[in-house]
Structure 1
Amino acid sequence: MAVSERGYDPTDVKSIVEYSHKLVGKTLREVTDAPELADPHRRRGSFGNAVEEYFFKYPINSDSAPDFADAGLEVKATPVKEVRRGKKKELVAKERLVLGKIDYNAVVNETFETSHVMKKCSDMLLISYLYEPDKNPVDYVVEAVAEWGIPQKDLPQVRADWETVVNKVRAGHAEDISGSDTMYLEACTKSAKGSDRTSQPFSEVPAKPRAWALKASYMTAVQRKIIDGTQEIPRSEAEKDLDLLTLVKKRFDPYVGMTAEELQDRFALSRSKSVTARITNCILGVRDNSEIEEFAKAGIKPKTIRLKRNGTPKEAMSFPSFDYFKLLERDFWRSDFYGYMQQKYLFVIFREDEEEKDVYRLASVMFWQMPEADLEEACRCYEQMRANVRAGRAEDSVKSTENRCCHVRPKGRDGNDVRLQPYGEPVVKKCFWLNQKYLAGEIARGLR
């Protein structure tokens, strides 16, 4: 097809990007003759395929080369959704950005520089559209388009993520790959059925088929950078190649041994519920009320952990109180609790002073996310509490002696701080907690 018929030059990146801006603020129905599209719940990618076919007017194919091969430009349509944070609404990535299937037999012979990931992510045209479940895809509004590639400052972490996954394959342990292993780039499961398995080169043990993907938290940060802007951790020339954990540890090291109160005074911070996050920002060189771009990309939330002298956390780790009705409606894999377990945390660890009782001093930092191997145990706790509510026994909790990882107990101001429940009188507010013994083991493992 001639350039004039397309409306842009398919060999020129600038021409493609300029043409794509016609989509911003519009729907495919408004700018193309695309028909009603297949239900995206049944056919994933219907919007992206329609953009290729009806807007850019090139045939859909499964070629691994960039969509605009002559320009070296990959086109990715990526959905965002609107969520409410208190009284404020904001856009977040609906899902991870899948880059392509991992061939275990081929990836072990790649280098990061020659990898499929780098080929896909060197130059992309991101088309961000607002997903609304009640609309046909032709009526999704395009929020933004932008030429994008993985920024230079993110490459050390992406490289570290890539090497973490590939080294497991090279060691013959592709079956042990987990999304919790990495920060920005992940090896997500990619198969029609959960029971599907494929071969790996250095082991007879079959592994789940997986694909390279940029995590949803990372894509949310990318979208915010395009739309709003966030603040990065400033780096010196000597720090530019450090992965995120190494950088964070380097910044925290000078403050090891200080108490939280001393850190508050050091940075002239008032006491508040968010003081840990604000101290973290100050240590990392970011304004104390700013969102840290690197943390947003990895979905990291700072959390203070106080360890007694024997290494046991002073308190169990709690999560927001749950709604008894929602608990009954949603299984574990669709629950808020599952979301908390998928969250990656920066544990800012204070350890009790060896001489002064109840004085806690900064000891270390580590990143933590519940390992996939423990999710079934968390699921068992959740489903046990669900069964209690279903049986009209919402007042019965799941004890820490009944589950290796988690338990349920009240989390309210007092016994009068109650919440409605489906089968009986209101019950005191409760939440899920991580067991102290489990948390102690995870921290010990993470700090080794």
Structure 2
Amino acid sequence: MRVIKPHSINELMRRVNNIAGMTLGQLAQQYQFKTPEDLLREKGWAGQLIEYVLGATAGSKPVPDFEDLGIELKTLPISFKGKPLETTFVSVTPLLNVTGMTWQQSNVRKKLAHVLWLPILGEREITPFDRTIGSGFLWQPSAIQDAQLQRDWEEQMELIALGRIDEISGHLGDAMQIRPKAANSRIVTDAIGPNGQIIKTLPRGFYLKTSFTGEILKQQFQL
């Protein structure tokens, strides 16, 4: 069954509302997807399933998932109490030619300009098949949230530009952190070193902290 991309936000949200309350397994069966027994080796499976069902088109391109609508899709594993269980990947962190980059032009800001959040009950004891899809909703950052994200982005990108990438840890940033993004430690990429030379390091990614996404959920559902 090939899903046609949604041509309007209303059409997209109708699809979102239609899958609310279903389990991932039920949805996978409907679209003939195989459901893994656990997500240790297939961490992105739920996101790929939802992308397919809703008609996302971006694939791995650095553009919003629903490119024509300018909307990014983010599945969000939550606890029984409605709290995010993990950080949310936003985009790959650029590590070279970063001088002159601005928050306004950054991939992170483009990705977060308009987000479709889809909470999914993700407690570890629940099998992937039985994880329930919650009520999806659209979100755009407020001026305060945008300023928060901009501060975190600029602080950490400045360290990269100065060749101080090794000083970046998950403790930095109030809303967003940079941390390694690689399947294993053998995967390396080029970055700026302490004296301006090129060094090898792990690829990095921008991730929203659970405290930030937790506030988004609180605002939406008055938790």
TM bin, normalised by shorter chain, reads: 0.7 to 0.9
User: 2:97, 2:18 → 1: CA distance?
Assistant: 39
Which SS does the other structure have where 1:157 is aligned?
A: helix
User: 1:149, 1:74 → 2: CA distance?
Assistant: 10
Map 1:274-313; keep pairs closer than 5 Å: none
Output the amino acid matched with 2:12: I
52 and 204 in structure 1: CA distance in 2 versus 1, 3 angstrom threshold: closer
Give the equivalent residue in structure 1 for 2:47.
48
2:56–2:66: 8 Å Cα contact kept in structure 1? no
Q: 1:156 aligns with which of 142, 147, 160?
A: 147
Q: Give 1 or 2: higher helix fraction.
A: 1
- Deviation string 1:300-342 (CA, Å, 9 cap, x unpaired) is xxxxxxxxxxxxxxxxxxxxxxxxxxxxxxxxxxxxxxxxxxx
1:161–1:184: 8 Å Cα contact kept in structure 2? yes
User: 2:185, 2:119 → 1: CA distance?
Assistant: 29
Deviation (angstroms), 1:167: 0.6
User: 1:68, 1:194 → 2: CA distance?
Assistant: 32
Give the equivalent residue in structure 2 for 1:379.
none
Output the amino acid matched with 1:41: L
2:19–2:133: 8 Å Cα contact kept in structure 1? yes
Map 1:18-417; keep pairs closer than 5 Å: 18-31=14-27, 32-38=30-36, 39-53=38-52, 55-57=53-55, 61-82=59-80, 90-194=81-185, 196-201=187-192, 202-229=196-223
Please provide the CA RMSD for this pair.
Answer: 2.4
User: 1:135, 1:59 → 2: CA distance?
Assistant: 29
Which SS does the other structure have where 2:135 is aligned?
A: strand
The alignment's TM-score, normalised by the length of structure 1, stands at: 0.45
User: 2:142, 2:110 → 1: CA distance?
Assistant: 14
1:123–1:147: 8 Å Cα contact kept in structure 2? yes
Deviation (angstroms), 1:176: 1.5
User: 1:17, 1:107 → 2: CA distance?
Assistant: 37
Deviation (angstroms), 1:121: 0.1
1:175–1:208: 8 Å Cα contact kept in structure 2? no
- Deviation string 1:97-141 (CA, Å, 9 cap, x unpaired) is 101111211443421000011010001111110013344424311
The alignment's TM-score, normalised by the length of structure 2, stands at: 0.86
Which SS does the other structure have where 2:205 is aligned?
A: strand
Output the amino acid matched with 2:46: F
Give the equivalent residue in structure 2 for 1:412.
none
Say which structure, 1 or 2, has more relative contact order (CA 8 Å, 6+ apart).
Answer: 2
- Deviation string 1:24-45 (CA, Å, 9 cap, x unpaired) is 2222344533444223111111
2:23–2:129: 8 Å Cα contact kept in structure 1? yes
Which SS does the other structure have where 2:213 is aligned?
A: helix
Which SS does the other structure have where 2:16 is aligned?
A: helix
Amino-acid identity (%): 22
User: 2:25, 2:184 → 1: CA distance?
Assistant: 34
1:123–1:149: 8 Å Cα contact kept in structure 2? yes
Output the amino acid matched with 2:23: T
User: 1:108, 1:41 → 2: CA distance?
Assistant: 37
User: 1:136, 1:36 → 2: CA distance?
Assistant: 13
Structure 1 unaligned spans of 5+: 83-89, 230-448
Output the amino acid matched with 1:40: L
1:34–1:138: 8 Å Cα contact kept in structure 2? no
2:25–2:130: 8 Å Cα contact kept in structure 1? yes
Q: Greater CA radius of gyration, 1 or 2?
A: 1
120-129 or 102-111, which deviates more? 102-111
Which SS does the other structure have where 2:207 is aligned?
A: strand
User: 2:160, 2:50 → 1: CA distance?
Assistant: 36
Deviation (angstroms), 1:58: 5.2
162-171 or 15-24, which deviates more? 15-24
2:176–2:209: 8 Å Cα contact kept in structure 1? yes
Map 1:429-444; keep pairs closer than 5 Å: none
Structure 2 unaligned spans of 5+: none
Matched positions, count: 217
